[in-house]
Structure 1
Amino acid sequence: MPAANTTRLSDEAALPKVERDLRYLMDAFAEVLREIGEDTVAERLPWPKQDGAAVSVDHSNVNTWPEDPGDALVERCVEARSIAFQLLQQAEENAGAQSRRQVEAEEALEADSGSWEYVLTRLARDGWTPQEIADALGTIRVEPVLTAHPTEAKRASVLHHHRAIYRLLVDNENTMWTPGERLALREETKAGLERLWRTGEILLEKPTVKGELGIILYYLGEMFPQTLPWLDRRLETAWRRVGFDPALLNDPTHRPTVTFGNWVGGDRDGHPLVTPEITAWTLEHLSARALENLRDRLGKLAAGLSLTLSRQVVPPALTRRLTRMTEELGAPAEEAFQRNRGEPWRQFVNMMIVALPDPSGPLAPGRYRRARELLKDLELLADTLVALGARRLADRDVGPMHAMVRSFGFHLATLDIRQNSAFHDRAVAQLLVAAGIDGADFPNWDEERRLALLNRELASPRPFMHDGTRAGPEAASVLGCLRVVARRLADRGPDGLGALIVSMTRGVSDLLVVYLLAREAGLLTYRDGVAVCPLPVVPLLETIEDLENGPAILEGFLSHPVTKASLEFQRLDAGAERPCQQVMVGYSDSGKDGGLMASQWGLFSAQTAMVAVGREYGVRLRVFHGRGGTISRGSGPTHRFVRAQPPGAIGGDLRLTEQGETISQKYANVVTAAHNLELLTAGTLNHTLRSARPRGDQGLSPVMDQLAKVSRARYRELLDADGFMAFYSEATPIDVIESSRIGSRPARRSGQRTLEDLRAIPWVFAWGQSRFLVSAWFGVGTALKTLRDSDPEAFERLAACKRDASWPVLHYLISNAATGWASADRDVMVRYAGLVRDTAIRERLLGLILEEYERTREGLEAIYQGPLAETRPRVQHVLSLRAPALVPIHDRQIQLLEMWRDLRASGRDHEADRWLPSLLQTVNAIAAGLGATG
């Protein structure tokens, strides 16, 4: 639900604003529909105006739709309601943004939980000096990683229309408009709504990886470059208002760094369309957009630095660098040098433009190979301006350019390469067989035997064969990709190349296999007889069991000589004080595997233990959080998520995924994007400093161990029950989701119809559509009841700890469970369960779910000391606005599911296919209403 990503502001101020904006948008939408002859659809829009009220619940004929599934009116009503839900989301987003602006104008920003001023004020109050905070700021690095998991249900053109409507909604906030200008704004809004209505939302063709990258490039190349200056200004404003010396921020080393990552074009786990050619194409396009942006910004910088020789003396360092660049760049530099004679600072920036590399061609003489070279020239430019006494120009003109290069470099975002450990194993087996070695059964070897072979082979630089791509399809795919990476590394260095991530890491050998494959692709080098990998090899720990084994896996990996040599090489290249080992933790699969409580506590415990392992080996642990867009997959209020991490797990460096519709919800508009990045950076600063003075767990860790154990056992009781897959397959629209066209990746890793093979994203997506959301709350009730019955004193300590928010991880976990439970709907669950044909399976498993649903309510209400609807009014308001409007869409989906499945079962696939677009339309509408897919 959208409430999961909101921060605590004045509810009294925000909610009426939501209602006013929603009324404005819905009235405009209804007018558009009536003006184009859709009167009956307009009459059935949700939240109709009534007796002057801003927003009301559904009434009269709003939910009375024709019962004939083939009636075209129903189709149009579903699509209109889907648009209405998205307009509600825009109203909520704008209300939040405007409320924060009002707070900033009228009172302390400290009221905005998680903001810069909130964090800075509390750090100062708790004893940190401005100098200590400024020093810590320079160590902060935040890296959102954008992914294209199949969770974005809207077409790219639809996203564009929504962004345009939102901008008009923001423009409408200006109080200086004349009546005529305000009328023109409203007419433009209506035009945008008409475009949206006439475009249609259903994806007629499955998107390609290139198409998905196009959407990601919009955020990386357009939105984020616009947003980061806002983020900087927010920090500066908060710094001054708290009373800190602004001069402390003049040093670029006293600013946090925000960079970005990308998985589109590099994530090949179960994705056959991500070929080596696609990866090469992706790297080239990321670089092309980054360099295009840099040329544009440097051009504007040059135009502004029109300082002439008649007004100031040129520092010798600038003259020397200009002369050297002219000599190194040759003929291309001559025109740049001659263009602005008498304006050496402008000439210098012109030379920087000439020195930018070609993203696809060979590196020409004198061109920058890495962005750090451009940064060095920008620092020289700033120093010469400061020497003249023009610090303002250095700060305001060169400073933002320097920040842009630090964030985006020549690559825009780092591209990670992810593949599944099982896929790697098959590739190694094929290489062994092709080399005449008995290794066809390598995937089934025990760990000892695997390690013996890997250690023996890694001691030698000799590959198995000169052209391993002929060994088999998996070998060809892996080696082809790694050769693309090796070529890029040789040509441009490691900038823009992320980590080599191993999904489903089960042991140390799964990581050493990557070193072996890197050797075959020419990516590995040997120094003093020891293999060195220039890129990080990263375990992805996904299931509860993998998280439990994570510390032992990490210890074995860090103690390996190839890892030691590789980390040292990477440290020297980065200029870091300590080696850094990245570890990715998976929220999606751990939640699917063990439920919310076991997953959240398992993640916390694993990170705590792995931080200790890293400390023992003198290595800084960089945790990469594989979060999704729903509570079941790690979502929740950003500032609370950061606060809930264990001491030492962030250490100034936060890397996390942003997936699917979450990207558009958080980053489609500059003000909202800046706010969300502020929550990440300010939260990272706060966590980093406070980790040095950690608060205890109040003796509740053993209690949490027991709660997680009981909760997981109860959750597995459901998943392992006889007939569970039949129930899940029929009581949710998982079969429709698997037929959808909302992502280029298949829903299953290998196409098998098993729970294990089903990806966590469609797993959560399907439960959400039918309003069960079991992985967001199931098992919590039994765990709480067991504790309450067996140890009332411990239960009360836990409840008190949650209520005073003194242990962030507990506060975050219980809050998310309460939101997940509230988002489920008992009546809707029962209606979807009616689709299960086997009566015995239906009654037994629905009974199990409803029993746990009631038990969870009781446990949570005991903690919150009252009904959740009363003790959590903001969440209740968000849900109550949506719930009645969702009812007819759920009914429509259930009706279509039953008919569609009957047609498929009787072999009438052609007729069934006719109804698939209608079903997908209900999927889109429900996803819009819930504010989330997977």
Structure 2
Amino acid sequence: MTEVSDALAPIGAVQRTKVGREATEPMRADIRLLGAILGDTVREQNGDEVFDLVERARVESFRVRRSEIDRTEISHMFDGIDIHLAVPIIRAFSHFALLANVAEDIHRERRRRVHVGAGDPPQDSSLAATYAKLDVAELDSGTIADALKGAVISPVITAHPTETRRRTVFVTQHRITRLMRLHAEGHTETDDGRDIERELRRQVLTLWQTALIRLSRLQITDEIDVGLRYYAAALFEVIPQVNADVREALRSRWPDAELLSGPFLQPGSWIGGDRDGNPNVTAAVVRRATGSAAFTALAHYLVELTDLEQELSISARLVAVTPQLAALAEACPEEARTDEPYRRAVRLIRGRLSATAAEILDRQPQHVLDLGLSRYATPDELRADLDTIDESLRGHGSALLAGDRLALLREGVHAFGFHLSGLDMRQNSDVHEEVVAELLAWAGVHPDYASLPEDERVELLTTELSTRRPLLSDRARLSELAHKELAVIEAAAYAVVRYGPAAVPNYVISMCQSVSDVLEAAILLKEAGLLDASGSEPFCPVGISPLFETIDDLHNGATILQAMLDLPFYRTLVAARDDWQEVMLGYSDSNKDGGYLAANWAVYRAELDLVEVARKTGIRLRLFHGRGGTVGRGGGPSYQAILAQPPGAVNGSLRLTEQGEIIAAKYAEPQLARRNLESLVAATLESTLLDVEGLGDTAEPAYAVLDEIAGLAQRSYAELVHDTPGFVDYFKQSTPVSEIGSLNIGSRPTSRKPTESIADLRAIPWVLAWSQSRVMLPGWYGTGAAFEQWIAAGPEDERVQALRDLYERWPFFRGVLSNMAQVLAKSDLGLAARYAELVDDESLRHRVFDKIVEEHQRTIAMHKLITGHDDLLADNPALARSVFNRFPYLEPLNHLQVELLRRYRSGDDDELVQRGILLTMNGLASALRNSG
């Protein structure tokens, strides 16, 4: 095996990331404060032996970073460690990761205040900076109105196996954040006079005495609850604010354009609707997911109405209300407070909303008020009554009152409706084929649908979709699979009727490879009453979204879309949806299929081709980006990623998945949520309204260069992952991928099918496992070899200069290299070498790991050659600070994980060993922040 030398040392140890000490000293002081409090807590609660081991591990980890000792010394510290000592050490470093996250978030807020206070220009990714760019562009109202017609930005929250923190931990972390925010502002006491440091100690003690993870396997219901907690934490406050602010800012610039009549930000969810490879998603789960979301929305409105009723104590003896407000107040059946029309009007609204809750919810929230009134049929009716209050308040000079709680509530109802967030349905095309074949056989339409060629399938399905005749009757005897699939879709139909069409906005088809794959999903929607294209007014409230995932599918995506739209039947459905067609692009499986660079380029090429189909057919294309948290699954900074889309690909609308630790990192606090949602909106506006690609007439030659390099990268990646004998065994032994499935992490199996194939392995465990072992392979492998081979195939100086030019001018190419550099900076092949030692076959270990080491070195060298940066994180000082200041604290977690994996695989079935492995996974995921 390659020697563990400087080539395998942590990136920070070799490059000595240069971080301005003066600028970062406040953050380091915060880390020292929280670390000291945690250390004191560990000593007090678990004694000197545990504390001394934690402190020794911490000191030795920093010595490793400074290259003062070989890391084998720290690894030997944990050889044979008593599991009762190991678990609290793991917990200590995991808690430190959580606290370091807080310190870094507070520091980012502090630096922004410094920039604002210094009068610096607004920073890119802020709305202020975007508005300044739009002002310079001098766009006309017609252009803006057309570009932003039907504009929607939808972050879609998705379940993730490492985001398993209990609600208590979540809440305690919030309290620590609030206290540290006060501390950063120079306060020593809270508003009610409590000593901040003492309160921090109280919260850290609570954190230490609270279990980080659940003992039982995570259920989908747990994941649903985790996803919903972000609304109360931040989204109920921030989404309405951002929607209102953006609409006001744009309309003030283009008052004649009538922009953004609908809410710009509309959140979505996959939790409870994504059954691709997850047999645990049932009709009951869909009912639970949609019902819990609706409950969360209506419960929030009722709380706000209760508070609003108390606040609006305005007397009719002192102000003149509008006739509409007076009529609303008079409709309240209670006779009290006759001179307080606003309170009576709000009370009436609360009574009607309570009647709505009684009819559509399975359980009733607090603050319901039974006045015997009729329910609101739609959210628009509720908004109309709230608008009546708003207009009356503004009519007698009370705009300040109208612009506070009432304004947020009005905007909230606009964005969240009665459904809160749209639940996408997703299933694999193979399942659709099997179920539709069964339905067609039962109905006597065709005995063997699966045997038909594609053109005959399309003809048969189109004929069925053009009639109202159902395929099934009550007497139908179907397989368990068919019953389950139909029940799930019927549960979705129930949600559409009960909570409104926005409750289930899309049906996503995984592994979509043909037009018949799309039509099969349409057949199932038709059977549930969600599609009717037989009459003059087609009906389909649920959009059908093909998902192109593999490299080949991405290449063929535009051809499939064109063929879909060539069908008169399908084109009428799209027309009935205001000509919008959504297409989902998969980053995860394409990466697993072809590697980092090939996957990113395949997505870009697919977007170019899809945009051209949309232009030719006259439809409006909305792209849904299936991005994971990590770069290997399409992650990376959202602002740069959106700007890196090809021309016409954003078109005013964007949907993207948000997963795992990324959700907490972005949306756990109002300030975090505001900044990250602003970033999404800013990038969407710029990509839609400005020329951000920067290639101009040189686009085609640039595309040709990437075609060549991506092909080389795919071959290099395939040579390792698909063609190296024993690679799957190496992967399973050198990473904790098997334990991800066996230790009750997440609600879904790690593979879509019970096979040993990499192709059937889900993308999350594929990326998570490489992240845990610190190889981070999906985020870079194959790229270095591709660049090296392409440069060597021509005049080297010219080709290097061509790549440098693309790096300077092309956001896509710059983003690819920047994201890759982030992954390389987080990788640590010295630690990875320890995981490689878990591979029994020494020959296999050499064969695979040596290739990984060589390509790692090659990729870093190519990054330096193209960008001119010695430092991988030259363009990301925030991550540079993180890597430099706290990555040594990850070292003990990795060593302990290897030690416990070794024991577990040797047959040690101690429950604490299993729990220790799970704790290391969560600690590393929290520290890396984008691990899967």
TM-score calculated relative to the size of structure 2 = 0.89
User: Aligned ranges for residues 402-417 of structure 1 at < 5 Å?
Assistant: 402-417=410-425
Deviation sequence 1:361-398 (CA, Å, 0-9, x none) = 26997422221222233334333444445444444454
User: Aligned ranges for residues 192-341 of structure 1 at < 5 Å?
Assistant: 192-228=203-239, 231=242, 253=260, 257-319=264-326, 326=331, 333-335=332-334, 338-341=335-338
Aligned residues of 1:557 and 1:563 also touching (Cα < 8 A):
yes
The residue matched to 2:843 in structure 1 has which SS? helix
Report the counterpart of residue 33 of structure 1 in structure 2.
42
**1:541 to 2:543 alignment:** no
Report the counterpart of residue 191 of structure 1 in structure 2.
202
How far apart, CA to CA, are the structure 2 residues paired with 1:541 and 1:143? 19
One-letter identity of the residue aligned with 2:169: V
Report the counterpart of residue 770 of structure 2 in structure 1.
767
How far apart, CA to CA, are the structure 1 residues paired with 2:595 and 2:467? 45
How far apart, CA to CA, are the structure 1 residues paired with 2:605 and 2:501? 33
**1:100 to 2:112 alignment:** yes
One-letter identity of the residue aligned with 1:34: R
Shift of 1:555: 1.1
Shift of 1:765: 0.6
Shift of 1:437: 5.2
Deviation sequence 1:412-436 (CA, Å, 0-9, x none) = 1111111111111121122233334
How far apart, CA to CA, are the structure 1 residues paired with 2:261 and 2:275? 38
Shift of 1:148: 0.9
Deviation sequence 1:497-521 (CA, Å, 0-9, x none) = 2211111111111110011112222
Shift of 1:350: 2.8
Shift of 1:581: 0.7
Aligned residues of 2:776 and 2:823 also touching (Cα < 8 A):
yes
User: Aligned ranges for residues 696-707 of structure 1 at < 5 Å?
Assistant: 696=696, 698=699, 699-707=701-709
**1:778 to 2:786 alignment:** no
User: Aligned ranges for residues 551-630 of structure 1 at < 5 Å?
Assistant: 551-571=558-578, 579-630=579-630
Aligned residues of 2:625 and 2:655 also touching (Cα < 8 A):
yes
How far apart, CA to CA, are the structure 1 residues paired with 2:768 and 2:476? 37
**1:475 to 2:475 alignment:** no
How far apart, CA to CA, are the structure 2 residues paired with 1:466 and 1:932? 48
Report the counterpart of residue 924 of structure 1 in structure 2.
922
The residue matched to 2:156 in structure 1 has which SS? strand
Deviation sequence 1:211-247 (CA, Å, 0-9, x none) = 111111211244211233664698699x69xxx9699
Report the counterpart of residue 907 of structure 1 in structure 2.
none
Aligned residues of 1:94 and 1:170 also touching (Cα < 8 A):
yes
* Structure 1 stretch displaced more, 532-541 or 499-508: 532-541
User: Aligned ranges for residues 837-852 of structure 1 at < 5 Å?
Assistant: 837-852=840-855
The residue matched to 2:184 in structure 1 has which SS? coil
One-letter identity of the residue aligned with 2:461: L
Report the counterpart of residue 880 of structure 1 in structure 2.
884
Shift of 1:641: 1.1
Which of 337, 340, 345 is the matching residue for 1:343? Answer: 340
One-letter identity of the residue aligned with 2:711: K
Aligned residues of 1:639 and 1:683 also touching (Cα < 8 A):
yes
Deviation sequence 1:880-915 (CA, Å, 0-9, x none) = 334433333323222332332232xxxxxx737663
**1:652 to 2:649 alignment:** no
How far apart, CA to CA, are the structure 2 residues paired with 1:133 and 1:344? 41
How far apart, CA to CA, are the structure 2 residues paired with 1:382 and 1:684? 30
One-letter identity of the residue aligned with 1:525: D
The residue matched to 2:356 in structure 1 has which SS? coil
* Structure 1 stretch displaced more, 65-74 or 589-598: 65-74
Report the counterpart of residue 159 of structure 1 in structure 2.
170
Aligned residues of 2:286 and 2:491 also touching (Cα < 8 A):
yes
Deviation sequence 1:697-732 (CA, Å, 0-9, x none) = 553111011111111111111112211111111111
* Structure 1 stretch displaced more, 883-892 or 454-463: 883-892
Report the counterpart of residue 434 of structure 1 in structure 2.
442
> Aligned pair in 2 of structure 1 residues 560, 685: CA closer, same or farther (>3 Å)?
same
Report the counterpart of residue 895 of structure 1 in structure 2.
899
One-letter identity of the residue aligned with 2:730: F
> Aligned pair in 2 of structure 1 residues 2, 867: CA closer, same or farther (>3 Å)?
closer
How far apart, CA to CA, are the structure 1 residues paired with 2:561 and 2:923? 44
> Aligned pair in 2 of structure 1 residues 263, 71: CA closer, same or farther (>3 Å)?
closer
> Aligned pair in 2 of structure 1 residues 599, 367: CA closer, same or farther (>3 Å)?
same
Report the counterpart of residue 906 of structure 1 in structure 2.
none
How far apart, CA to CA, are the structure 2 residues paired with 1:167 and 1:58? 37
The residue matched to 2:165 in structure 1 has which SS? coil
Deviation sequence 1:780-824 (CA, Å, 0-9, x none) = 1111112221233553344333553x2111111111112222222
Shift of 1:42: 2.8
How far apart, CA to CA, are the structure 2 residues paired with 1:889 and 1:397? 46
Aligned residues of 2:584 and 2:623 also touching (Cα < 8 A):
yes
Deviation sequence 1:718-764 (CA, Å, 0-9, x none) = 11221111111111111111113231111111222211111000000
5+ residue gaps in structure 1?
Answer: 4-8, 327-332, 572-578, 904-909
Deviation sequence 1:257-294 (CA, Å, 0-9, x none) = 22211111211111122111121122222111211111
Aligned residues of 1:648 and 1:691 also touching (Cα < 8 A):
no
**1:795 to 2:799 alignment:** yes
The residue matched to 2:900 in structure 1 has which SS? helix
Aligned residues of 1:781 and 1:855 also touching (Cα < 8 A):
yes
The residue matched to 2:114 in structure 1 has which SS? helix
Aligned residues of 1:46 and 1:58 also touching (Cα < 8 A):
no
Aligned residues of 2:587 and 2:634 also touching (Cα < 8 A):
yes
How far apart, CA to CA, are the structure 1 residues paired with 2:192 and 2:68? 34
> Aligned pair in 2 of structure 1 residues 246, 35: CA closer, same or farther (>3 Å)?
farther
> Aligned pair in 2 of structure 1 residues 136, 2: CA closer, same or farther (>3 Å)?
farther
One-letter identity of the residue aligned with 1:25: L
The residue matched to 2:502 in structure 1 has which SS? coil
* Structure 1 stretch displaced more, 742-751 or 353-362: 353-362
* Structure 1 stretch displaced more, 304-313 or 853-862: 304-313
The residue matched to 2:347 in structure 1 has which SS? helix
Shift of 1:870: 7.6
> Aligned pair in 2 of structure 1 residues 202, 214: CA closer, same or farther (>3 Å)?
closer
Bigger relative CO (Cα 8 Å, ≥ 6 apart): 2
Shift of 1:632: 0.3
* Structure 1 stretch displaced more, 275-284 or 429-438: 429-438
Deviation sequence 1:94-149 (CA, Å, 0-9, x none) = 11122212322332351x22111222223323445899879978965321111113
Aligned residues of 1:69 and 1:896 also touching (Cα < 8 A):
no
User: Aligned ranges for residues 484-563 of structure 1 at < 5 Å?
Assistant: 484-528=491-535, 532-563=539-570
Aligned residues of 1:137 and 1:254 also touching (Cα < 8 A):
no
TM-score calculated relative to the size of structure 1 = 0.88
User: Aligned ranges for residues 712-723 of structure 1 at < 5 Å?
Assistant: 712-720=714-722, 721-723=724-726
Aligned residues of 1:772 and 1:825 also touching (Cα < 8 A):
yes
* Structure 1 stretch displaced more, 818-827 or 19-28: 818-827
Report the counterpart of residue 4 of structure 2 in structure 1.
none
Aligned residues of 2:643 and 2:692 also touching (Cα < 8 A):
no
The residue matched to 2:595 in structure 1 has which SS? helix
How far apart, CA to CA, are the structure 2 residues paired with 1:727 and 1:21? 41
Aligned residues of 2:838 and 2:902 also touching (Cα < 8 A):
yes
Shift of 1:919: 2.2
> Aligned pair in 2 of structure 1 residues 850, 247: CA closer, same or farther (>3 Å)?
closer
User: Aligned ranges for residues 791-870 of structure 1 at < 5 Å?
Assistant: 791=794, 792=796, 795-801=799-805, 803-804=807-808, 806-869=809-872
> Aligned pair in 2 of structure 1 residues 487, 255: CA closer, same or farther (>3 Å)?
closer
* Structure 1 stretch displaced more, 30-39 or 583-592: 30-39
Report the counterpart of residue 381 of structure 1 in structure 2.
389
How far apart, CA to CA, are the structure 2 residues paired with 1:459 and 1:248? 44
> Aligned pair in 2 of structure 1 residues 73, 407: CA closer, same or farther (>3 Å)?
same
Percent same amino acid at aligned positions? Answer: 31
Aligned residues of 1:459 and 1:530 also touching (Cα < 8 A):
no
How far apart, CA to CA, are the structure 2 residues paired with 1:561 and 1:923? 51
Aligned residues of 2:587 and 2:633 also touching (Cα < 8 A):
yes
